[in-house]
Amino acid sequence: MEFRILGAVEVRAGGRRVPLEGPRQERLLAALLLSAGAVVPVGRLVDAVWGERPPATASRQVRNLAGGLRRRLGTAAAGPAAPSLLTIGAGYQLQLREQQLDARMFTRHLARARHAAAVQRPVEALGELRAGLALWRGPALDGLGDAGGAAGGALAAGAVALDEQRLTALEDCLDLELELGRHRRAVPELASLVAQFPLRDRFVGQLMLALGRSGRRVEALAVYRRLAERLAAELGLDPGPELRATQQALLRTDRQPTRPGGPPSLLTNSQLTVLEGFLSARIDVAGGSMAGGEAARSAEALRSAVGVALTGLRAHLALGAEVPESLRHPAAPPAAAHWELLLRAAAPWRDHPGFPSWLAAVFERGDPSGPGFR
């Protein structure tokens, strides 16, 4: 049996929806699911079902509703996996497994995403966030609003908390999309979110970054201007410091917008080490899958060329020079040639899940000017 509250309240058993006995039983179940595994006092259930104007017989009616819900759940499911609605003291406790409630599964995906991000696995973190967000079917507890003037405060608070978790997960998800260099891909989703939540700073800043890094600087500045005008007209406020910093970066045409306090667009030895490991593994796989001596020699030649380029760039860094991530920059000719070779070597594997995120950002920004990088 499955319970769903990330959208309209639903109970499903054997792939089929289990009908409930009207909106009051739905509100009762929603309150129990918001505190699944905990004892919910009858008084809180009364508030969930009737709000501020309960009838004199509310406590007795709650017991009747709980009894009817227990019978309905028992009829729809049986066996050790069946949920249990227990009467404990002056309250009720709904016992169910974690995988039976979509909100708990959502929380599990968020925890896995945080762990993956903490150990520098952004692709895995993004996958967990997307899996969690896919559980949502609409606003939390959708349809349990003020029906006939009876909206429980506990239900409203629980729904707001869940919806905020979803929005925060979306923000984290789109941060990872930008970190992985998927700026153009993120623009439509961010534009839709900003239209829905025009005063949510983080979405606005992410859209500005995505547009700016996609070569759509004028549109990015227009997003900022619309927010500034709305804040001034409705609240008498200015955009926050991070959005102002992003706007200033966009106004400076000689640099790409980055997050305030973020690293400059320069190569580092650690980035070269990551790229070396990635290319070495890809060349090994490619060479192993090639038939014939000529193909194997081609793979070895590519490995040698990559090694020469990496050695040259590391020597350049050892002299204290900066190597920009752009061929249009007036870098020393040998360094520019080495960098171009590495970009061309990496280009065929841009869609590989292990592709270095910092290099994906270089390609997404369009820094490499040659046609071979598109």
The predicted-structure confidence for 60-77, as pLDDT tens digits, reads as follows 999 999 999 999 888 877
> Which ranges constitute the DSSP H helices of 77-216?
102-118, 122-133, 153-179, 183-196, 201-213
More confident residue, 178 or 230: 230
- Is 275 in the same domain as 329? yes
Beta strands in the chain (DSSP E): 2-4, 10-13, 16-17, 39-41, 84-88, 91-95
Let me know if residue 52 belongs to a domain: yes
Question: What 8-state DSSP symbol labels residue 141?
Answer: T
Segment 269-296 shows an average pLDDT of 71
Band (pLDDT 50/70/90 cuts) for residue 351 is confident
Give phi and psi for 35, each to the nearest 5.
-120, 40
Euclidean distance between CA atoms 302 and 346, whole angstroms: 11
Question: What 8-state DSSP symbol labels residue 373?
Answer: G
- Is 276 in the same domain as 358? yes
Final residue belonging to a domain, choices 58, 84, 100: 100
Question: Which residues, other chains included, contact 284 with Cβ-Cβ below 8 Å and sequence gap of 6+?
Answer: none
Confidence at residue 364, expressed as pLDDT on a 0 to 100 scale: 66
How much is the mean pLDDT over the chain?
Answer: 82
Single-letter amino acid, residue 265: S
- Is 274 in the same domain as 258? no
Confidence at residue 359, expressed as pLDDT on a 0 to 100 scale: 77
Let me know if residue 274 belongs to a domain: yes
- Is 253 in the same domain as 277? no
- Is 63 in the same domain as 94? yes
- Beta-bridged to residue 39, according to DSSP, are 93
Q: Hey, how many other C-beta atoms are within 10 angstroms of the C-beta on 160?
A: 13
Confidence at residue 289, expressed as pLDDT on a 0 to 100 scale: 55
Segment 289-313 shows an average pLDDT of 73
Euclidean distance between CA atoms 208 and 202, whole angstroms: 10
Let me know if residue 140 belongs to a domain: no
Euclidean distance between CA atoms 293 and 298, whole angstroms: 9
Using DSSP, how many helices (H) and how many strands (E) does the chain show? 14, 6
Q: Hey, how many other C-beta atoms are within 10 angstroms of the C-beta on 114?
A: 13
Let me know if residue 161 belongs to a domain: no
- Is 252 in the same domain as 280? no
- Is 242 in the same domain as 276? no
Rg (the chain; Cα; Å): 28
Confidence at residue 149, expressed as pLDDT on a 0 to 100 scale: 43
Question: What 8-state DSSP symbol labels residue 219?
Answer: H
The predicted-structure confidence for 110-144, as pLDDT tens digits, reads as follows 999 999 988 878 899 999 999 999 999 999 999 88
Check if the beta carbon of residue 367 is closer than 8 Å to that of residue 326.
yes
Let me know if residue 293 belongs to a domain: yes
Does the pTM exceed 0.85? no
- Is 88 in the same domain as 20? yes
More confident residue, 80 or 260: 80
- Is 224 in the same domain as 315? no
Confidence at residue 76, expressed as pLDDT on a 0 to 100 scale: 78
- Is 332 in the same domain as 275? yes
Query: How is residue 107 written in tokens?
Result: 């929380």
Final residue belonging to a domain, choices 69, 100, 131: 100
Single-letter amino acid, residue 41: P
Let me know if residue 114 belongs to a domain: no
Band (pLDDT 50/70/90 cuts) for residue 49 is very high
Least-confidence region, from 56-60, 211-215, 349-353: 349-353
- Is 313 in the same domain as 248? no
- Is 27 in the same domain as 50? yes
Let me know if residue 63 belongs to a domain: yes
Confidence at residue 326, expressed as pLDDT on a 0 to 100 scale: 43
Confidence at residue 264, expressed as pLDDT on a 0 to 100 scale: 35
Let me know if residue 144 belongs to a domain: no
The predicted-structure confidence for 262-273, as pLDDT tens digits, reads as follows 333 456 666 777
Q: CATH number of the domain at 67, please.
A: 1.10.10.10
Q: Hey, how many other C-beta atoms are within 10 angstroms of the C-beta on 49?
A: 24
Q: What percentage of the chain exceeds 70 in pLDDT?
A: 80
Confidence at residue 316, expressed as pLDDT on a 0 to 100 scale: 61
Domain count, the chain: 3
Final residue belonging to a domain, choices 241, 262, 283: 262
- Domain span holding position 229: 197-262
